[in-house]
Each structure stands twice: as C-alpha cells, then as structure tokens.
Amino acid sequence: MFIIRTNLLNLQQNLNSMRIIIAGVGAVGTHLAKMLSRQEHSITVIDQDEVKIEALESQLEILSLVGSCTSIGALKDAEVNKCDLYIAVNSQEDQNITSAILAKRLGAKKTIARVNNSEYLEDEAYEFMRSLGIDILIYPERLAAEEIVGSLKQCGSRQMHEFSDGRMQLVGIKLWETAQILDMSLIEMSKKFDTDKFRIVAIKRKTKTIIPRGSDRLEYGDLIFVVTSPDYVSKVFDMCGKKQFEVKNIVIIGASRIGIKAASLLEKNYNVKIIEINREKCIQLTEKLQSALVINGDGRDMSLLREEGIKNVDAFISVTSSSETNILSCLQAKKVGVKKSISEVENIDYIDLAENIGIGTLINTKLIAASYIYGYTMNVNVKHMRFLTFSEAEVFELQAAKNSKITKKALKDINFPEGATIGGVIRNDQAIIAKGDIKINEGDNVIVFALPNFVKKVVKYFEK
C-alpha cells in the first residue's frame, strides 16, 4: 500500500515552475528538495522511510509518497507521466538506475540517476544508459574528487571554480592583516588597483553574505569572492596578502570513494600518500593505484604522520566518513605547518565552524550534487553551476538567449536584482570583467553571483 500525503499550499502551481519527482530522501535528496521547493517548483518525494518523509514534509511545501521508487504502482501514483524531471538519488545505485528507466518509460520528460561506479560515465556505457531512458548520470564522489583536484590549482584560496574551460576563475580568499585592500571601500580600491582586471562579487562576513556595492568596505576576516582571468590571479593574491605556492607532496586520509578517486587523479602529477586504517582496503588500493603510496594506519595518529614526513607535505586532504575526524585531522596538519588543507564536511552545520577555525577548502557532496542537478531545472542554457560551500550564495554561468532582457541595454541601465551581480562575460573566447557600460550580446556566457532568493529573478533576464 502506498501512502500519499498532500500539502495543500503547494497545489497552486506556478506556471513557470516544473513538476519534479525526487526518489530518495537521504542527504542529497533532502537538500535538493529544500533547494528546489524554495524556487517554487512543484516537488514530490518518494521514499520507503516514513519517518524521513514526515520530517521533510514538516519543513517544506511538498507532495510525498511512502513507497518504493522501483514500484510501477508507486510511480503511477506519483503521476510520473506528468513529471518534467525525475531525480533518483537513493544510496543504492541499482534502485536509481531501475527507477529512472521505469520513470522514462512511464512518461517522465527527463531523468537523472545517481551512480556509485565511474564505469557508467565512460562514453559507451553512458550512451547505453541513455538508450535505456536515463538522460543524465551523476556520480557525486567523482565530482567531489574533481573539485579537490581543481582546488589545488590555486593554493592560498579557500575555494576556486573555473568557467568556460578556465578562461575565467572565481577565487575565495580570506583577508588577514597582510591584505593591501583591508579597510578600503570598493570605490577607493578602484582608484588604486586595476579593477578592469577583477571584480569582487561577494563578501562573506561572519555568517552573512553581502553582494557589495561601491561604498562597502573590506574588513579583517572577510572571505571575498573575486572573478578574474587566470593571468591576473597572482596579482589578486598579492592584493590580498597571499602567497601562491607549488604543490608537490600530498597526503590523503581515508580510502573512501572520494579518496580513491582523488588519489587516482592526483598521482599522475604529484607525490601522493594515502593513509587508510582498514587493512583489506589497503590491499585493494595497491591494485587500483599506479604510483601512490598506500599506508595502513590511523590518519589521526600524529606519530604516524611525523614518520611519514608531515612537515614536508604541501597539501593535506582528509576524506574519511566522519566530518569531525576530517576537521580535527586538518587542524593537526595546519599546526605542524601544512599550507593547504582540504576537508570533507558532510554535516552542513559544521561548515561555518570549519571555515572560522581556518580549514582551507571544504568538500560537501550534497552541495556538489545539488549544484550539478540544479542547472537542469533552469529554463536557460546553464554552462556551470555551483553552490559555494562557505557562502549561502550561488554562482553560475549562463548563456544569454536571443532577445533576452539582459541583451537590451548596458548593465548600468538594467534594473538587475539587488541580491545578485554579474562578475564577468566570456565573448568569443575573450574574458571581460563586467562594468556598468558593457552590453551583453546574444550568445555571451555570463558569470552571475546571486543569493538564493534572487536566482529565479536572475534567470528571467536570460530567458528567450
């Protein structure tokens, strides 16, 4: 028997919203439901755990169904035939694949399935899955590993994202007493530095995210997000009193799926050691990795880390199943002088704490997976989408459609939402920092930074 619950407040669907079904209310599914319902989409969640369903529906205006996502009856009861997007994000890969195939056959317009095996992402396997009815495959742990690799490209920043194949970058930098731009307003900064080369798009101050205007001043402890081109990143670091350094030696704590994938990607260009407490996992790792050194031991043991030359390590990555262990391990590494620390923190409540105590880069698979999926819910061409781990804001790369509102006037004459700002434009492979007199053209890729409540308003400027 399937139990269907209805929140009456959600029945009057916004004409511009999508009908979305989320199968699985684990960590990723719950975060997606919260995020998408905030954008006024009509959300239905399916899960066999009635307690989880009750907890979620007490917080959100959603429809819910207690049942199996692999049941044809349950999918029909959820009206999958009217669904614009079906998202299967259970922890069980086989359930996700099966339910996504069934959903497509029953009439869902687009399907997404979470997988736990990178083999499915190979071209031939991916095409086979598409032929069965799965439009998009997502492997959050692989995305997390790729984010770790990307974060090592700009050591000294808390967060780094690339746009348009690296033509423009967003870096998050903490301001301490060495920053030249400390206590300056953005207007004062423009008189001293070449602001045609970079743009500060947001400031994270304590627990608040600010979309800055000209009179806003930069304060000690601010985390600023800067859009710039790759060739100007070093000058941005200088302004912020940061030193870039080369990474050669890396230690990874934990042979999780993220740890294994990160090690396999990093061992090609770095000296990598991976420390895992489980002996059987270590034996399996030696067969999977080519040059990385596998060590059986407890990554929290400082005597072991000293034996393995922790003082000579450039980057320390902790990706065990425990957020607490990862945070504490990174703190220990920083105390002995490791310059770059990366911690997997799945408990969102710990993110501000970890940032405030100086953990360098934070990895959260829920946010990464949600970012990837979220782009498919927008009625515009989304090239890149990220929820910023340290901030309550979102950054995305949108392509301006023909005759869209954003192309009608110069930026200074467009009443752009106050909770958002444009950082840069990529036009014909050229990276341009956004200024008031620039006019967006059809086909331009535009980097936008926005607070969550303003995303829907921003998207309207880029629609046809």
Domain boundaries, the chain: 3-138, 246-338, 368-460
The pairing of strands 3-6 and 63-66 is antiparallel
Please give the C-alpha separations between residue 382 and each of 74, 203, 343, 418, in angstroms, as whole numbers: 32, 24, 28, 21
- Distance from C-alpha of 265 to C-alpha of 282, rounded to nearest angstrom: 18
pTM of this prediction? Answer: 0.86
Cβ atoms of 400 and 374 closer than 8 Å? no
- For residues 167 and 211, give the distance between their C-alpha atoms in angstroms, rounded to a whole number: 23
Produce one character per residue of 246-279: b if its CB has 16 or more CB atoms within 10 Å, e if not: ebebbbbbbbbbbbbbbbbbbbeebbbbbbbbee
Beta partners for residue 1, in sequence order: none
Domains 3-138 and 368-460 fall in the same CATH topology: no
CATH number for 368-460 (one of 3.30.70.1450, 3.30.1020.10, 3.20.20.110, 2.60.40.10): it is 3.30.70.1450
Q: Which fold has domain 246-338?
A: Rossmann fold (3.40.50)
For the beta carbon of residue 435, count every other beta carbon within 10 angstroms: 14
The tens place of each residue's pLDDT in the chain, 464 residues long, gives 345 444 433 433 444 588 999 999 988 899 889 888 877 789 999 999 999 999 998 899 899 999 999 999 999 999 999 999 999 999 899 999 999 999 999 999 999 999 998 889 999 999 999 999 999 999 999 999 999 998 888 777 788 888 888 899 999 999 999 999 999 999 999 999 998 999 999 999 988 899 998 899 999 999 999 999 999 999 999 999 988 888 999 999 999 999 999 999 999 999 999 999 999 999 999 989 999 999 999 988 999 999 989 989 999 999 999 999 999 999 999 989 998 999 999 988 888 888 888 888 899 998 888 888 888 888 778 888 877 776 778 888 999 999 999 999 999 999 999 899 999 999 988 999 999 999 999 999 999 999 888 888 898 999 87
> For the domain with range 3-138, which CATH number is right: 3.40.50.720, 3.30.930.10, 3.30.460.10, 1.10.287.3610?
3.40.50.720
